[in-house]
């Protein structure tokens, strides 16, 4: 599981000041106190939003403030309430107090929310029988956000098939991705942004290594693969490592079948990479002669066929999510 983390500083709004004022008309011997109360400060609210996929935005903006309450005024007028500051985070975000590490809330459901910093109460104006009272400041604290990222799309394939290249080419926010714990040269996780249908794509470690090195790696592979909706099976169709692409395809298929129902039930796309190399042509013909399987031809390096691939992935994910709802 990949973990996304962020630390943010939040400050709720301060309460507005109460007003000290007196009302008097020509018939009154004593002036009457009529100062209104200050408004309450705005709260800092964190809400889960199913449309948001990562915590990336919180690495760029780390400070959040809610508006202060307005001051009270004469004729008993209360100050306006400060506007809340609402932070939208992905579903499944765990909210903690950063200093103590104590859990504040696990936002598991869409639209679930929590106030993490309370606005200060407004001060009392002198119209109160007990007299005026000063306003209170807004709460201020450091919050830790933590999200287990679930890849929507997992890529499997032999080493050097071009998995990392594909991920970095279709993840448009490269500079942001670089801030994950992974190196830029070998990205294992990419965020493919879109107004409505962003998704996360990941290089799933271990299907081939798992087959050779035993159970531990295989389990690790499964843990990652289990929750992805689509498996992209990537073949180096040019055989640029000296292996036969058709044999690579068969070996990976064999591994997928070994894992049984969990993987068999998933959408699978076979992607033939490196079609920019001249050797690709012959292998593609051989492939079609031997298998009924459709393949999507791409060059991750030269950006051939990548838009079509991304569109296809989006379409499948869209179908899946409308089925979930
Ligand atoms: N000619 C060609 N080379 C590619 C293509 N995609 C990746 N490569 C090269 O293949 C090598 C392995 O790529 P990489 O993305 O690291 O593979 P991974 O091990 O599956 O992550 C690198 O030298 C890439 O530059 C492609 O579409 N065409
Ligand atoms: Mg790689």
- Boundaries of every domain in the chain: 2-148, 150-324
Domain 150-324 coded CATH 3.30.390.30: no
2-148: which CATH architecture?
Distorted Sandwich (2.70)
Residue 79: which of 13, 17, 12 has the closest Cα?
Answer: 17
- The CA 167 to ligand 2 mean position distance, Å, reads 9
C-alpha 172, offset from chain centre = 15
283 within ligand 1 shell (Cβ under 6 A)? no
Using left for φ > 0, alpha for ψ between -120 and 50, and beta otherwise, residue 192 falls in beta
pLDDT at res. 215: 59
Strand order in the sheet with 2-11: 63-65, 2-11, 140-149, 93-97, 103-107
Atom 9 (ligand 1) nearest CA: 162
pLDDT at res. 186: 59
Does the structure show a pLDDT above 80 at 212? no
Counting ligands in written order, the one closest to the CA of 165 is 1
159 within ligand 1 shell (Cβ under 6 A)? yes
- The CA 266 to ligand 1 mean position distance, Å, reads 25
State the Cα–Cα distance between residues 37 and 58, nearest whole angstrom: 35
Report the mean per-residue pLDDT for the chain. 89
Query: Model confidence over 226-284: pLDDT tens digits?
Result: 778 999 999 999 999 999 999 999 999 988 888 778 888 899 999 999 999 999 999 99
Beta bridge partners of 115: 45
Query: Model confidence over 126-162: pLDDT tens digits?
Result: 999 898 999 999 999 999 999 987 789 999 999 899 9
State the Cα–Cα distance between residues 195 and 202, nearest whole angstrom: 20
State the Cα–Cα distance between residues 251 and 202, nearest whole angstrom: 21
């Amino acid at each position: 599981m990949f973990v996304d983390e962020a630390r943010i500083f939040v400050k709720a709004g301060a309460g507005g000041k109460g007003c000290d004022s007196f009302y008097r008309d020509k018939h009154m011997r004593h002036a009457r106190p009529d100062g209104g109360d200050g408004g309450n400060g705005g709260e800092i609210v964190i809400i889960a939003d199913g449309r948001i996929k990562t915590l990336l935005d919180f690495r760029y903006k780390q400070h959040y403030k809610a508006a202060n309450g307005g001051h009270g005024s004469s004729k008993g007028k209360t100050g306006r309430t400060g506007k809340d500051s609402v932070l939208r985070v992905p579903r499944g975000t765990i909210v903690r107090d950063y200093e103590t590490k104590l859990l504040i809330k696990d936002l598991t459901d869409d639209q679930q929310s929590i106030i993490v910093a309370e606005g200060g109460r407004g001060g009392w104006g002198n119209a109160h029988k007990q007299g005026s009272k000063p306003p209170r400041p807004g709460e201020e604290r450091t919050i830790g956000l933590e999200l287990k990222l679930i890849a929507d799309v997992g890529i499997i394939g032999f080493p050097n098939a071009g998995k990392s290249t594909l991920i970095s080419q279709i993840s448009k926010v490269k500079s942001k991705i670089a801030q994950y714990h992974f190196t830029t040269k070998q990205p294992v996780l990419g965020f493919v942004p879109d107004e409505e249908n962003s998704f996360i794509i990941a290089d799933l470690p271990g299907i081939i290594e798992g087959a050779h090195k035993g159970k531990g790696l295989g389990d690790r592979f499964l843990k990652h693969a289990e929750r992805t909706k689509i498996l992209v099976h990537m073949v180096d169709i040019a055989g640029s490592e000296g292996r036969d692409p058709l044999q690579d395809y068969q070996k990976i298929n064999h591994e997928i079948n070994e894992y049984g129902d969990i993987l068999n039930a998933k959408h699978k796309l076979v992607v033939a990479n490196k079609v920019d190399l001249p050797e690709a042509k012959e292998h593609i013909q051989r492939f079609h002669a031997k298998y009924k399987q459709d393949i999507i031809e791409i060059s991750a390096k030269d950006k051939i066929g990548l838009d079509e691939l991304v569109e296809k992935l989006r379409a499948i994910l869209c179908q899946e999510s409308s089925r979930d709802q």
